[in-house]
Amino acid sequence: MSKVRTEDLLDQFQLELLAGKDGVHREIHTSDISRPGVEMTGYFKFYPKERLQLLGKTELSYFNELTNEQRQERSEKLCTDVTPGIVITRGMDIPSELITAAQEAGVPLMRSPHKTTRVISRLTNFLETKFAPFTAIHGVLVDIYGIGVLITGQSGVGKSETALELVKRGHRLVADDSVEIRQEDYDTLIGNSPPLIEHLLEIRGLGIINVMTLFGAGAVRSFKRITLIINLELWEKNKQYDRLGLEEETMKIMDVEIPKATIPVRPGRNLAVIIEVAAMNFRLKRMGVNAAEEFSERLTNVIDQDQQNE
C-alpha cells in the first residue's frame, strides 16, 4: 500500500492552500473522510481527528452563526496534531478563526471551487485506489474485446508469445511477466504493469521488444479490470480436460473469485485464437448465452425422446 500525503491532494485536485503549509507532508492513513457536523455543535468525544476533514455549506453556515469564542474553541479542537488536512468546498469564504487555528497547529487548510458531493466523491475514489489491497502475479494481462484476460502458466509455456500474437490481432497489452493487481472494491481487481517494464514484451530468442513502438499507442493500455483467467499448461496425455465447458472453475486472488479456464498446450494449437474465442464466449455467457448448456439441454431432450419411443 502506497503512502499518501496531503500534498498529493494539492497536486491531484489543484486545491488552494490557505494555511498550514508546514503540515502538507502529513500522511493520510485512511480513505474515510469526515464531515464534522456534530463537532460544530461542540461534541468532540468521538471526533475522528486522524481523517481528512471536509466542510461544506451546511457546516460553515452553522459555524458562522456561532459566537467568536465558540468559533475559536471549535477551530482549535478541529485542528489537531494528527489531522491531515481540512478541505473547504464551493470556494466559500473561510472564517479567520479557522485560518488562525490551522496555521498555528500546522494543519493544511485547503479550498476547492467545486460542489461538496463532487469533491468528497473524487477524494474518496482517489484514496480508495491508493489504499487498495495489492499483490503481484506472474503472468500476462491483455485486453481482448473489452475483457481483461490474465494469462498464467509456468515459465516457458508461451504466455508472452501468445500475447504478441494477440496484439498482432488487434488486442491491447497491459502487462507482461509481472502483473500488479489491486483490489479496488469487494469484487473488482485492477491490473497494471510495473513502471519499469511497461509496454515491454520479452520474447525468447528476440529479447525485449517495445509493443507501443512497434504497433502504436492503440496496442497498449495502462490498466484493465481482470475478469477472466486463462491458465496455460503443458498437455498431459492421461489428464481429462473439460470438453463441453460445463465445469466452471475459479481462482481466488485476494478476496475476489475470478472465472478461470485451463487450456492445454501442445504443438499445432493456435493459443491466440483459442484465448480470443474464450474471451468472446465469456462475453456471451454474461449476456445469457451459454453454448455448453444449450448442447446439454439438446442432448437431454434427445435422450428423453428416445426413451419415450421405446
Q: Where are the domains of the chain?
A: 4-130, 134-289
DSSP state letter for 254:
T
pLDDT at 1 over 60: no
* pLDDT tens digit sequence for 14-34: 899 999 999 999 999 999 999
Q: Are 199 and 212 in contact (CB under 8 A)?
A: yes
Q: Looking at domain 134-289, which of 3.90.1300.10, 3.40.50.1110, 1.10.287.890, 3.40.50.300 is its CATH number?
A: 3.40.50.300
296 is in an annotated binding site: no
Measure the CA–CA gap between 157 and 262, rounded to whole angstroms. 13
Q: Write the CA distances from 47 to 11, 38, 79, 137, integer angstroms.
A: 27, 9, 11, 40
Out of 103-117, 138-152, 296-310, least confident range: 296-310
Burial grade of 163 (CB within 10 A; 0-12, 13-18, 19 or more):
buried
154 is in an annotated binding site: yes
Q: Quick one: pLDDT at residue 59? A: 93
Q: How much of the chain exceeds pLDDT 90, in percent?
A: 72
Residue 277 CA neighbour count, 13 Å, CB half:
8
155 is in an annotated binding site: yes
* Gap between the terminal Cα atoms of the chain: 67
What residues are annotated to the active site? Answer: 138, 159, 177, 243
Are both 4-130 and 134-289 of the same fold?
A: no
310 is in an annotated binding site: no
Q: Which three cell numbers stand for residue 32?
A: 474515510
Q: Quick one: pLDDT at residue 213? A: 94
Q: Quick one: pLDDT at residue 68? A: 93
Q: Quick one: pLDDT at residue 210? A: 95
* pLDDT tens digit sequence for 61-119: 999 999 999 999 999 999 999 999 999 999 999 999 999 999 999 999 999 999 999 99
DSSP state letter for 196:
G
Q: Which helix (H) or strand (E) holds 120?
A: helix 116-130
* Residue 236, φ and ψ in degrees, nearest 5: -110, 120
Q: Are 4 and 127 in contact (CB under 8 A)?
A: yes
Average pLDDT over residues 4-17: 91
Give the pLDDT band of residue 225 (cuts 50, 70, 90). Answer: very high
Q: Which of 295, 264, 291, 261 is nearest to 278 (CA)?
A: 261
pTM of the model: 0.74
pLDDT at 244 over 70: no
* pLDDT tens digit sequence for 33-69: 999 999 999 999 999 999 999 999 999 999 999 999 9
Q: Which SS3 state, helix, strand or coil, does residue 229 take?
A: strand
Q: Are 84 and 3 in contact (CB under 8 A)?
A: no
Burial grade of 65 (CB within 10 A; 0-12, 13-18, 19 or more):
exposed
112 is in an annotated binding site: no
Give the pLDDT band of residue 304 (cuts 50, 70, 90). Answer: confident
The helix/strand count (H/E) of the chain reads as: 10, 19
Q: What is the CATH number of domain 4-130?
A: 3.40.1390.20
Higher pLDDT, 149 or 308: 149
β-bridge mates for residue 16, sequence order: 111
Q: Quick one: pLDDT at residue 300? A: 81
Q: Quick one: pLDDT at residue 267? A: 83
Q: Quick one: pLDDT at residue 122? A: 94
